[in-house]
Chain A
Amino acid sequence: MFHRESGVFKTTYAADMALYPLPIAKWTMIALAVLFVLVIPLVVHEYYLSILNLIFIAIVGALGLNVLVGYTGQISIGHGAFMSVGAYTAANLAVRFDLPFWITLPAGGLMAALIGAVVGVPSLRIKGLYLAIATLAGQLIIEWTINHVPAISGGAQASIQVDRPSLFGFTFDTQGRLYFFLLFFAVLAIIATLNLVRSRIGRAFVAVRDQDIAAEIIGINIFHYKLLAFAISSFYAGVCGVLYTYYFGIANYEQFQLIVSIDYLAMIIIGGLGSVLGSIFGAVFVTLLPIAIRIFMEDVGSLFLSQGELANVISGLRLAVFGGLIIFFLIVEPEGLNRLWRNIRSYFRVWPFSY
C-alpha cells in the first residue's frame, strides 16, 4: 500500500495477482494491523471510536455495492432496501428466537442475497437505465412492504429493539468493544473482496462489465454471473444492515431509505469504481463529510443562524454537498479518490527524478 517499487519485474501471472507484491507490503499490513488492533482502541477517545465504527460498517456496504457496480457494471439503486432486509431478518431472529449474532448475521446476509437475486432477475433482460429503474422499484416495494407488514417490522413504529451482540458471555456493549466487533467484519469483508475479485468469479464479473456479449462468447454464463453479482453484493448489504442494527441496537426502516442507497453510490463513485481501496476511501470520506460539515456549520453558521435553522441547514447542505461531489467526481475524476492515490504513488515512485 505504501511501498514503492523501482520497476516492474513480474514474470508470472501469479506474481502479478499476488496480494503482497513485495515483502514490505506484508510488513505494512502487519503494522496497520498493530495500529488498528492495539494502538487505536487504547489511545483514541470514545467519540472518535464511534466514528471509526460507522466507517467500518460503511466499508462493508460500499465493498458490496462496488462488487456489483464497479466490478460487474450493473447498477443498483436498491441497496438501502437490501440492507433493511438483512437488518429486519437479523432483528426478528434475534428477538423471537433469541439467536446469537453469529447465526443472525449470516442469516441476514443470506436473506438479503436471496431478495437481491430476485430483484436482480430483470438484469438478465435489461441493463443500464432500465435496471436502475427496476432496482429503484425494488427499493420502493421493499420499503413499502416492511412498513406495511407488522409481522416483519414488529409493530407501529416499524422498529425492533435488539440486544447488543455477545460472544461467550462477553457483550460488545460500549463503543470500545463494538470497535473490535465491527473491525473484525470490516477486515473480513475487505479480505473476502480482495480474493473474490482476483478469482475466477471476479474476472468473470469484470468481463461482463467490459462487454457482456463478448463475455458470453468466451464462455461466461452471464445469467449465472449477473445473478451471482447481485446475490454477493446484496449479501454484503445485508450484513451491513445487520451491523447497523447491532450498532444502534434497533432495526428501523428509516435508516435504510432511498437516500441511503444514494449515499452508498456516492461512496463508490467518490472512492473509485472497481477498486477495493476505493471503496474504503469512499466509506471514510462519505462518513466523515457530514461530521466535517456539522462541525464547520456549528462554528461558522451559528454566527448568523438560530439553533433550529442550523439543523435544517446542516441536513440540507450535507445532501447538496454529496450531490455536488458525485457530479464533480463523475466529470473531473471518474476513477475517484483511488485514482488520486495512485497518481500520488506513481509520482513518488520515481521521485525525485520526474522522468
Chain B
Amino acid sequence: MKKTMIGAVCAATLTAVAATSALAAADGLSNGSVKIGVLSDMSGVYKAIEGPGAVIAAQMAIDDFGGQVLGEDIELVSADHQLKADVASSIARRWIDRDHVDMLVGMDNSAVGLAVQGLASAKKTIAINTGAGTVELTESQCSSYGIHYVYDTYALPVGTATAMVQNGGKKWFFITADYAFGHSLQDNTARVVKELGGEVVGSVNAPLSTNDFSSYLLQASSSGADVIGLANAGGDTVNSIKQANEFGIVARGQKMAGMLVFLTDVKALGLDTAKGLQFTTAFYWDRNDESREWSQRFFDKHGAMPTMVQAGVYSATMHYLEAIKAAGTDDADAVRAELGQMELNDFFVKNGKIEANGLMSHDMYLAKVKTPDQSKSDWDLLDIVSTIPAEKAYIPVAESSCSLVKQ
C-alpha cells in the first residue's frame, strides 16, 4: 500500500515536471535551430551498410522537408565513431552539450548504440538507432528517448525460419557466432522452428573472426539437417556462404538461411554464390514504385542502392521532423510523445508504430536471392517472397521487459 502511494506521488511529480518543462519549451525551438547528428561507422565493417550513405540519406530527408522547420533552418552534422564506444560517447556529449544537437541517428554496432542511447537519455535527447541489432535497446536498457528503428535480432529470424520450415525445412543445424549476438539470433530462430514443429539437430559455435568455416560446414553437412542456419553477420556470413558453395553443400541439397544479411553482403558474394539464399530484411529498393523512386534518387547521389539501414535513416529523420512540426517545438519529451502517436507511413515503413519501449514495430519482408539468369541489372538482386506482419516480427510490447512498459 505504502509502496503504491510513493509510486503514485513519484509519478505525479514526474508528470508535473515533464509538463512544466514541456510547457516551458512549447513555444518553438530551443536555440534557434534543429540540429541532427548522424553518428556512424565511416571506416569499419558497417561503412557500406550505414556510413557515408546514411549522411546522404539524412541530408535528402532534410532537403525533401524543405530545409526548414517551424521557420528555422535544419542543420546536419556527422561523424565517424570508428566503432569505438568511447569515441562515440564523447562525440555525442560534445554534440549535445556544446553544439545543441537535438537528435542523433545511426549508431551501428551494439556497444556504440547502447552507450549513446544511455548518454542521450540522461541528457534528454532523442537517439534513433538504425544500425545496431541488439534487442537490449528496447528491453532491459530501454529509454524514453531511445528509438530502435530498423531491425533487431528478434525480428530477423522470424520470417526466415517460418518460411523455411513451411517449405519442408524441418531439421536445422546452426553455425553460430560465438558471442551474445549470435546466441540471441540462434535462440530466436530455434524458438520459431520448434513452434512450427521443426527440430534443431545440432549447432556449432564458431569463434569471432574465424575465416575458415569449412570445418563447421562439414559438421553441418554430415548432421543430416535440411537447413543450415547462419546465426552470424557481415564477413562471417559472407565467408560461410562462400565456402558452403565451394564445398558443394547447397548443390547436394541442403539449404542455407542467413539470419542477418544486408544487400551489400549479397553484392559482395555475387549472385552465382548467393543464389537461393533466403533472409529477412526491413527494406528492398525494388519492392514497389515508391521505394524505387526514392532509391533511384539515392543511387544518383551515392552510387549504390540503399541498404535497409540507409533507407531507415531517411525515414527516421523525416518522421522526426514531421513530429517537430506537429508538436510545434523541438523539446524532446514533446517530440517523443508526438512520435508515439504517429502512424508511420512512407516508402520505407507501412503502418509503423513506435511503442512505449522505443521499438518501432513494422512489417518485415522475406527475401530470396535471385539466380544470375533472373537478374536484369547490377542491383537486381532479390525477390521479395512474403511480408511478415509487424505483430509477428517483433516482441509484442506487452511481453517487453522494459520498465517503461506498463504491465
A pairs with B: no
Chain A residues with CB under 8 Å of chain B are none
